[in-house]
Chain A
Amino acid sequence: MTQALKHGSIIVADWHRCKDSKEYFSKILHKKKRKIFGLLESPVMPPHVPVDTVHYKVFLSGKSGVGKSALAAHLAGLKVPSTHYETTGIETTVVYWPAKLKESGRVLFFRFQLWDCGENALRRFDHLLPSCKEKVDAVLFLFSFTDRTSFDDLANQITKWNESSGSPVVTMVVGTKFDLFMHCDLSEKDVRGFQETWQLPVFRMGCGEDDDRLDVTAPLFNSLAESLWLQDCIIAGQQV
């Protein structure tokens, strides 16, 4: 079961802080900021260090205004827009994450493509949701810490997703705008309660500019990578 996975059992946690990861992380960074890769580009390692890249499609689901586009931008190290604009179609964002497998010591580049689509667009155009679900590997359900209704709606969202999707995918929950604690609309207890009921990991994210992004985003990336890798192994029928 992917959900019951203990964090750090497959992928080395906090590997980005280790010395031996430097070589890999330097390929995705430029002047301490994330490098932006076009579709024709990818991180390039020297020929004597062969690294496989594994591709995953991750769908961001959540109410309008919850911060799907902002989360995608934040995770990818892009500028988080200061004004909220509705996303009027599908936008995907690519983000690379090097990770080390515990057992074999093998390093992989995880290429997450985050799929984000505005709720209103999904409602207005029928073809968008099927397109988002096509060959999807993981889904992140978003709620905002400043909007209780988005949290209350989670159960509904997850149920709807599970009913309409065929094969099970990696599922995680992300609470956005965690940095705006002044306007927080939820208690720790609420979140813990949810976590226990649904047995899903919940990540807390803000979009603050000065955060050291690697530190802030590492737990989410590592956990996502771990679950996806495990899912692949189960599908391939291998022993982990």
Chain B
Amino acid sequence: MMFQEGSIQLVCLTASSGVPLFTRGASRQLPFSIIGSLNGVHMFGSGQGVTLSSCETEGGGRVVWRVFQDSVMLIAVNASQQAGQGVESSGQGVESSKGERLHLQRLLENVWNCMVMVLGQDELVNAKNLERLKRDLRSCFSLVDELLEERRPGILGHLTHCADCLLPPQPVPLQEAVQSFAKAADSEFGCLLIHGRVAAATEMWWRLAPQEIVLLSAVMRALSDSGAASCDYPVFLPQGSPTVAHRLLRFQLLPGADVCVLCGPTPSLHGAESTLVGRFWSPLVDNLRDCLAIGERCLPSSVTLRPDVLALLLINRENHRSVSCMPAPSCAYPQRDPPSPSEARCWELLKRFYIFCMTRYFKQEEAEGTTEEEGGTHQGNTEDFVNGFSHQPLKCYVITDECKSFALQTPQHQLFLLTPLTAPTFALNTIAAQTLSSIIAATGF
């Protein structure tokens, strides 16, 4: 399986000397000699003017390297996978392996960003005392493990680099509250998360780099899961402010509903909590509860989905936002023959289908501000196909023994959709088109 739990191992070393800084993931650690060899082979390459970025082992494992800021090397190792399953089995081994590479490359980027977010770039790049750096890096483990374990299957932002959103039934009052709350906290950056997904945010929040939004959402999710009532976390912004820390103030309004602001030295956590939270949010308790009630569906009830939609991922390509949706399974389609895949499996299949489309047919836009240091690694995923044609594929579908998958893209959107096997293949196009237009019409997403 491609995303076998705990099969990914992450190794972090100093780029210049190859001193191991930490390893995370996988229950069985790689022996030191192997870590040494992995570093050695990369070093040998750079001695010859070659950047080694990825390789596949005979057993189907995959290793991806990347050096960040000439200072830290991250290596991700995925243990051998079982031969093709699901979407991968319909393609060739090459497909699965390419998808794997994309997945691991995004992971390394996310891990680096998370290290910068917690410790700041200076500490990572100009580390004078390695023992101290090792100790300080422990502060990142909670977030790194969160990235490795992918605890919430419906959250796809770390893969898509688009903010996972929830579209509230009544967005306007929430939007206004976030704005005035942030303003009162001397901040332009405010965001409301429901079930770990962005439900409303200030305009400046959306101007943060998409990866930053994704990572900040991950930080908030971790804090929300821990049950803390409020937090004051120093955070660096990997792109916007890698060397100066901001304060992330987060408040749990209701369990599952969190609001945060990014601010400077004022206000204090105590002050903001006692004077601002109640003032701006008490009037909206019912509205917040309505948002919480839509749960994993992430779409308001004004959007009627066809009963033959198992799961969907909708991406707005212009503003890097996404909605992933799993309509309530029990009531929508009771008994099917053959039975539809479980909820967890649906997320898994959706994720694979996304990777499949992105590595093979659809062009990936990298978000602004992404530092593509080892130029062209991402484009490399699609070039074989796309470069051979003068046009862009608009639609794509795959049928496996578990479900049918259909994707379409317009200049503004990308939609990835799963239907049960009972949906007629000729209708997939219509189902997708209708789903897209009904969501856009009802929510303006």
Contact assessment for B269 and A73 in the assembled complex, using a CB-CB cutoff below 8 Å: no
Once the chains are docked, how many angstroms separate the CA of A83 from the CA of B269?
A: 27
Once the chains are docked, how many angstroms separate the CA of A196 from the CA of B186?
A: 48
Q: A39-B229, A40-B282, A125-B234 are in contact. Are A91 and B245 (CB under 8 A)?
A: no
Once the chains are docked, how many angstroms separate the CA of A108 from the CA of B228?
A: 23
A194 to chain B, nearest CB (A): 29
Contact assessment for A91 and B223 in the assembled complex, using a CB-CB cutoff below 8 Å: yes
Most chain B beta carbons < 10 A, residue from A69, A79, A81, A91: A91
Contact assessment for A40 and B232 in the assembled complex, using a CB-CB cutoff below 8 Å: no
A residues less than 8 Å from B230 (CB atoms): 39, 91-92
Most chain B beta carbons < 10 A, residue from A39, A83, A128: A39
B residues less than 8 Å from A86 (CB atoms): 138-139, 141-142
Contact assessment for B231 and A131 in the assembled complex, using a CB-CB cutoff below 8 Å: no
Once the chains are docked, how many angstroms separate the CA of A127 from the CA of B266?
A: 10
0/1 string, A121-150, CB within 8 A of B gives 1: 100110110010011000000000000000
- A88 CB within 8 Å of chain B: yes
Identify the closest chain B residue to A113 (Cβ). B229
B residues less than 8 Å from A128 (CB atoms): 232, 234
Could you say which of A38, A89, A94, A120 contacts B254, with CB atoms under 8 Å apart?
Answer: A38
Most chain B beta carbons < 10 A, residue from A37, A83, A124, A128: A124
Identify the closest chain B residue to A41 (Cβ). B254
Contact assessment for A125 and B245 in the assembled complex, using a CB-CB cutoff below 8 Å: yes
Interface of chain B residues 34 through 88 with chain A (CB within 8 A): none
0/1 string, A34-69, CB within 8 A of B gives 1: 001111110000000000000001000000000001
Contact assessment for B231 and A91 in the assembled complex, using a CB-CB cutoff below 8 Å: yes
Contact assessment for B234 and A73 in the assembled complex, using a CB-CB cutoff below 8 Å: no
- A155 CB within 8 Å of chain B: no
Contact assessment for B270 and A89 in the assembled complex, using a CB-CB cutoff below 8 Å: no
B residues less than 8 Å from A93 (CB atoms): 227-229
Most chain A beta carbons < 10 A, residue from B141, B223, B278: B141
Contact assessment for A36 and B227 in the assembled complex, using a CB-CB cutoff below 8 Å: yes
0/1 string, A83-111, CB within 8 A of B gives 1: 10110111111100000000000000000
Most chain B beta carbons < 10 A, residue from A90, A128, A131: A90
Identify the closest chain B residue to A86 (Cβ). B139
Interface residues on B, range: 35 or more
Contact assessment for A39 and B251 in the assembled complex, using a CB-CB cutoff below 8 Å: yes
Identify the closest chain B residue to A130 (Cβ). B268
Once the chains are docked, how many angstroms separate the CA of A113 from the CA of B251?
A: 13
Once the chains are docked, how many angstroms separate the CA of A107 from the CA of B154?
A: 45
B60 to chain A, nearest CB (A): 30
Contact assessment for A78 and B251 in the assembled complex, using a CB-CB cutoff below 8 Å: no
Contact assessment for B278 and A40 in the assembled complex, using a CB-CB cutoff below 8 Å: yes
0/1 string, B344-381, CB within 8 A of A gives 1: 00000000000000000000000000000000000000
A residues less than 8 Å from B252 (CB atoms): 38-39
B residues less than 8 Å from A83 (CB atoms): 145
A residues less than 8 Å from B288 (CB atoms): 40
Interface of chain A residues 209 through 224 with chain B (CB within 8 A): none
A149 to chain B, nearest CB (A): 16
Contact assessment for A39 and B277 in the assembled complex, using a CB-CB cutoff below 8 Å: yes
0/1 string, B250-286, CB within 8 A of A gives 1: 0111110100000001001111010001100110010
Could you say which of A40, A78, A85 contacts B142, with CB atoms under 8 Å apart?
Answer: A85
- B401 CB within 8 Å of chain A: no
- B12 CB within 8 Å of chain A: no
Interface of chain A residues 1 through 52 with chain B (CB within 8 A): 36-41
Once the chains are docked, how many angstroms separate the CA of A50 from the CA of B41?
A: 72
Identify the closest chain A residue to B288 (Cβ). A40
- B226 CB within 8 Å of chain A: yes
Contact assessment for B226 and A81 in the assembled complex, using a CB-CB cutoff below 8 Å: yes
- A76 CB within 8 Å of chain B: yes
- B128 CB within 8 Å of chain A: no
A residues less than 8 Å from B28 (CB atoms): none
B262 to chain A, nearest CB (A): 13
Identify the closest chain A residue to B138 (Cβ). A86
Interface of chain B residues 184 through 217 with chain A (CB within 8 A): none
A residues less than 8 Å from B141 (CB atoms): 85-86
B146 to chain A, nearest CB (A): 10
Q: A90-B233, A118-B139, A125-B245 are in contact. Are A131 and B269 (CB under 8 A)?
A: yes
Q: A92-B229, A120-B139, A131-B268 are in contact. Are A40 and B253 (CB under 8 A)?
A: yes
Identify the closest chain A residue to B256 (Cβ). A38
B218 to chain A, nearest CB (A): 13
Once the chains are docked, how many angstroms separate the CA of A71 from the CA of B335?
A: 46
Once the chains are docked, how many angstroms separate the CA of A121 from the CA of B136?
A: 9
Identify the closest chain A residue to B248 (Cβ). A89
B190 to chain A, nearest CB (A): 16
Contact assessment for B277 and A88 in the assembled complex, using a CB-CB cutoff below 8 Å: no
A residues less than 8 Å from B229 (CB atoms): 38-39, 92-94, 113
Could you say which of B232, B251, B255, B282 contacts A89, with CB atoms under 8 Å apart?
Answer: B232
Contact assessment for B234 and A88 in the assembled complex, using a CB-CB cutoff below 8 Å: yes
Identify the closest chain A residue to B266 (Cβ). A127
Once the chains are docked, how many angstroms separate the CA of A81 from the CA of B226?
A: 8
Once the chains are docked, how many angstroms separate the CA of A79 from the CA of B255?
A: 14
Contact assessment for A90 and B142 in the assembled complex, using a CB-CB cutoff below 8 Å: no
Q: A93-B229, A125-B245 are in contact. Are A88 and B139 (CB under 8 A)?
A: yes
- B135 CB within 8 Å of chain A: yes
Q: A40-B278, A93-B227 are known; give 12 further A-B pairs, CB within 8 A.
A: A36-B227, A38-B229, A40-B285, A76-B227, A88-B118, A88-B142, A91-B228, A92-B269, A93-B229, A118-B139, A120-B139, A125-B234
9 A-B interface contacts by CB (under 8 A): A38-B255, A39-B230, A86-B141, A88-B142, A88-B234, A89-B231, A91-B228, A118-B139, A125-B234
Sort A-B residue pairs by CB-CB distance and give the 9 closest, nearest first: A89-B233, A38-B254, A85-B142, A78-B227, A90-B232, A91-B228, A94-B229, A88-B139, A86-B139
